[in-house]
Structures are given as structure tokens and as C-alpha cells.
Amino acid sequence: MIGVDMNKISKKIAFFIVFLTLLIITGVFIKMTVDTKPPVNTSFPVPGSQVGGLYIQFKDGISESEVKTILQNSNMTVDYRMEYDTNSTDEIYYIMVDKNKITDVRDELGKENNWTKSVPAIKKGNYYIITVYEQATYDKNFLEVLDKYDLQLKRFVWCEIRFYEGSKKWWIPEEEAIRIKNELEQKENIVTVQLSYLYP
């Protein structure tokens, strides 16, 4: 009887030892997988979260001095340099459509695939700004639509902002850049602001 009890106890001890061994192996494996992740460098921002500048899309007719005044009156937290009228995109032309006519104009413009860009119209006050492809400006049918709705073809003025500290290029955190972007886009003469990210 004592031999049977010892046998049961030996089996329980053996089972317990096997269980502990598996538990230790699992723990070591989990620790190894956690430790193989690269350490996070908190002293330098994550690539792609550094903004080195802004591309600002202004309405037609804004002068360089007006752009400078708008920028000086905004809450920029770092020095910057501005280049005026630097459009290097295909977003050159636009039309401003009264909010009461937007549906009719969109329907009319939708008949041709090559007239407007597939970006959403931007609401500014009582108007929507619709970006137009350059080839549409030479299309007789497109120009007739403009006449029909008494619309004028306008040209964006793009300005490029580069952040600097002293004489070297600099960057600001993405959160700060988004704050500046949101503030600038509230200005009447600014259509959109795009962030220019730095990548290693």
C-alpha cells in the first residue's frame, strides 16, 4: 500500500516538474520575442514624424507681401524661409462655385472625366473650390460651362515654407505642424496647407 502511494506521489512530482519546465521554457521564449524588438529611441523622433516645411495653396491674386503678412501674423514657433509662387504640382487652376450651384456645376463637370481633379471640393465660406486640370482650360465645352454658370477660371498661388534654425534646415514635430496647418487653413486666402515630411 505504501508502494502504491509512493508511486502516485512520484507521478505527481514528475508531472509537476514537467509542468514547471514547460512553464519556464514558455516564459523564456516569450521574453526572447519581446527582447528582440528594436529599442525605441526617445531622444530622436520617429522617421516620418518630422515636418521640414509646408506647401501652402493660396487663392488667385495674392501678392508676396500679403503672404508674408499672413505668415507673420500666424503662430509659427520656429524660423522659416518662404518662396513665393513655387507651383510644382498639377494643381494649377480652380473655379469657385457658390454653395447653391455646386450640385448643378458638379453634374455638368462630371460629364467629362478630364476636366476636374478627383480631389474633394474645398468649402470656403459660401463657396466651394474645385481644382481643374490644365487641359480643361483649352476645352471649348468646359469654357461654355464656365460661361453658363458665370464662373471664372483662377490660378492657385503656391508658396513653400522651409523651417530653419540659424542657417541650417530644421524641422518641427508633426503635432506642431498640424496645429499650424489647421490655423492657417482658417485664413480666407488660404485654400490648403500640405505638410512636407523629412525622411532619413
pLDDT at res. 142: 94
Q: 3-44: per-residue pLDDT in tens?
A: 556 677 777 787 778 777 877 887 776 765 554 544 434 445
| HEC assignment per residue over the chain | CHHHHHHHHHHHHHHHHHHHHHHHHHHHHHHHHHHCCCCCCCCCCCCCCEEEEEEEEECCCCCHHHHHHHHHCCCCCCEEEEECCCCCCCCCEEEEEECCCHHHHHHHHCCCCCCECCCCCEEECCEEEEEECHHHHHCHHHHHHHHHCCCCEEECEEEEEEEEECCEECCEEHHHHHHHHHHHCCCCCEEEEEEEEECC
Q: 163-200: per-residue pLDDT in tens?
A: 988 878 889 999 999 999 999 999 999 999 999 998 76
Name the CATH superfamily, with its identifier, for domain 50-88+156-198. Ribosomal protein S6/Translation elongation factor EF1B (3.30.70.60)
- CATH label, 93-155, candidates 3.30.70.120, 4.10.520.10, 3.30.230.10, 3.30.70.2580: 3.30.70.2580
pLDDT at res. 194: 95
Q: Average pLDDT for residues 105-123, to the nearest whole number?
A: 85
**pLDDT band (50, 70, 90) for residue 97:** very high
pTM, two decimals, is 0.72
